[in-house]
């Protein structure tokens, strides 16, 4: 036995021996940007053809069915529908490339100007709604996961079930009736102060928050069962640090992705709630355009929302890879 050489010789060890696994953020940015650009080209195409597929000549609808033919012809020229669809499509794309969304048939103002006037309100409503959703989902979800199968957890689940089942427009009306009509704490309509956003963003946030809550709970339960949690506890960290610093950090990755995707829906929900709370946002602009058959505004508004939606997802992707360095591998 004495002749056996000691196996305890130290060997070489360098970090530089490792290949750099990290894909540079820059390359990722380029990749995702190309994808975004392609989407941006696709969206106007879809918007254009969807509107053309809808039956009924737009000019006829706008002018009224009993309008004299020369008025209709006039409108066709104004709308550009006197050309074949492919020519129209070409013109639409070319003008879009110059950021020209056309002019409103009703107010004669540039569509882009109308959109940009209204959009900040819609955006801030969606952001406030998302904030509200996360403020509900994260603490309740963590609580449910940590105390799972207790009354706390069941309480969270019941809340989530109710929240998912309640449509936000209904919740909006109820909130409005209680907190603006019966107890006039919040304003009934209008949108010139952040105060006006409180009720609609709660209505938006409860619904989305209820969905995210389940996600946070599931993700937290999964993360709390992982081995690195034992390491964190074996270091003597207090339970709060184990939960929020270690587990939640990893649990937030899937939650962030879904929240990002939901942000698009948040914009959609905001458009509905604008109606209920009489907020002069993008939704009201598009809706009144629909009633008035203001095609350039409908077209431009839809395109704008779709573009914002893709842009948000693009940003979420980038954010995700910043939070989770492993995404950058592969």
Q: What minimum distance in Å lies between the beta carbon of 312 and another protein?
A: 23
Q: CB nearer to another protein: give 142 or 273.
A: 142
Gap between the Cα atoms of 194 and 295, Å rounded: 32
Binding track, positions 189-228, relative to another protein; x by CB under 8 A: -------------------------------------xxx
Instruction: Choose which of 79, 232, 273, 303 interacts with another protein (CB under 8 A).
Output: 232
Instruction: Choose which of 157, 166, 221, 237 interacts with another protein (CB under 8 A).
Output: 237
| Integer Rg of the chain from CA | 27
Binding residues for another protein restricted to 251-290, rule: CB under 8 A: 253
Q: CB nearer to another protein: give 113 or 235.
A: 235
- Contacts with 127 (C-beta within 8 Å, 6 or more apart), sequence order: none
Q: CB nearer to another protein: give 138 or 202.
A: 138
Q: What minimum distance in Å lies between the beta carbon of 238 and another protein?
A: 7
Q: What minimum distance in Å lies between the beta carbon of 9 and another protein?
A: 7
Instruction: Choose which of 33, 135, 235, 319 interacts with another protein (CB under 8 A).
Output: 235
Q: Does 330 bind another protein (CB under 8 A)?
A: no
Q: What minimum distance in Å lies between the beta carbon of 247 and another protein?
A: 9
Q: CB nearer to another protein: give 70 or 227.
A: 227
Q: CB nearer to another protein: give 138 or 298.
A: 138
Q: Does 230 bind another protein (CB under 8 A)?
A: yes
Instruction: Choose which of 184, 238, 240, 330 interacts with another protein (CB under 8 A).
Output: 238
Binding residues for another protein restricted to 3-32, rule: CB under 8 A: 3-4, 6-11, 13-18, 21-22
**Do 283 and 122 touch, CB atoms closer than 8 A?**
yes
Q: Does 322 bind another protein (CB under 8 A)?
A: no
SS (H, E, C) the chain: CCCCCCCCCCCCCCCCCCCCCCCCHHHHHHHHHHHHHHHHHHHHHHHHHHHHHCCCCHHHHHHCCCCCHHHHHHHHHHHCCCCCHHHHHHHHHHHHHCCCCCECCCCCCEHHHHHHHHHHHHHHHHHHHHHHHHHHHHHHHHHHHHCCCCHHHHHHHHHHHHHHHCCHHHHHHHHHHHHHHHCCCCCCCCCCCHHHHHHHHHHHHHHHHHHHHHHHHHHHHHHHCCHHHHHHHHCCCCHHHHHHHHHHHHHHHHHHHHHHHHHHHHHHHHHHHHHHCCCCCHHHHHHHHHHCCCHHHHHHHHHHHHHHHHHHHHHHHHHHHHHCHHHHCC
Q: Kindly list the residues in this chain that would bind another protein in the complex (CB under 8 A).
A: 1, 3-4, 6-11, 13-18, 21-22, 226-228, 230-238, 241, 245-246, 249-250, 253, 323-326, 329
């Amino acid at each position: 036995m004495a002749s056996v050489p000691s196996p305890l010789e130290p060997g070489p060890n360098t970090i530089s021996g490792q290949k750099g696994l990290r894909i540079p953020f820059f390359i990722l940015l380029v990749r995702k940007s190309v994808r975004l650009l392609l989407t941006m080209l696709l969206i106007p195409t879809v918007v254009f053809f969807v509107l053309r597929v809808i039956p009924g000549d737009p000019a006829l609808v706008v002018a009224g069915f009993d309008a004299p033919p020369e008025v209709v012809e006039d409108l066709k020229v104004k709308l550009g529908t006197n050309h074949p669809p492919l020519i129209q499509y070409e013109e639409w794309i070319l003008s879009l490339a110059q950021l020209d969304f056309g002019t409103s048939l009703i107010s004669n103002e540039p569509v882009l100007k109308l959109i940009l006037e209204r959009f900040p309100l819609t955006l801030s409503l969606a952001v406030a709604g998302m904030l509200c959703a996360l403020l509900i989902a994260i603490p309740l979800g963590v609580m449910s996961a940590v105390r799972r199968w207790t009354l706390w957890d069941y309480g969270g689940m019941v809340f989530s079930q109710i929240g998912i089942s309640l449509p936000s427009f209904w919740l909006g009306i109820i909130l409005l009736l209680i907190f603006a009509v019966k107890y006039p704490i919040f304003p009934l309509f209008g949108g010139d102060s952040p105060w006006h956003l409180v009720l609609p963003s709660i209505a938006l946030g409860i619904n989305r928050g209820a969905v995210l809550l389940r996600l946070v709970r599931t993700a937290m339960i999964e993360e709390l069962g992982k081995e690195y949690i034992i390491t964190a506890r074996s270091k003597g960290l207090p339970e709060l640090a184990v939960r929020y610093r270690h587990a939640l950090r990893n649990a937030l990755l899937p939650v962030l992705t879904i929240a990002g995707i939901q942000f698009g829906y948040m914009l959609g929900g905001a458009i509905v709630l604008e109606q209920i709370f009489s907020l002069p946002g993008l939704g009201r602009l598009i809706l009144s355009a629909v009633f008035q058959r203001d095609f350039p505004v409908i077209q431009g508004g839809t395109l704008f929302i779709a573009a914002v939606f893709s842009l948000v997802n693009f940003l979420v992707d980038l954010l995700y890879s910043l939070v989770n360095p492993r995404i950058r591998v592969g």
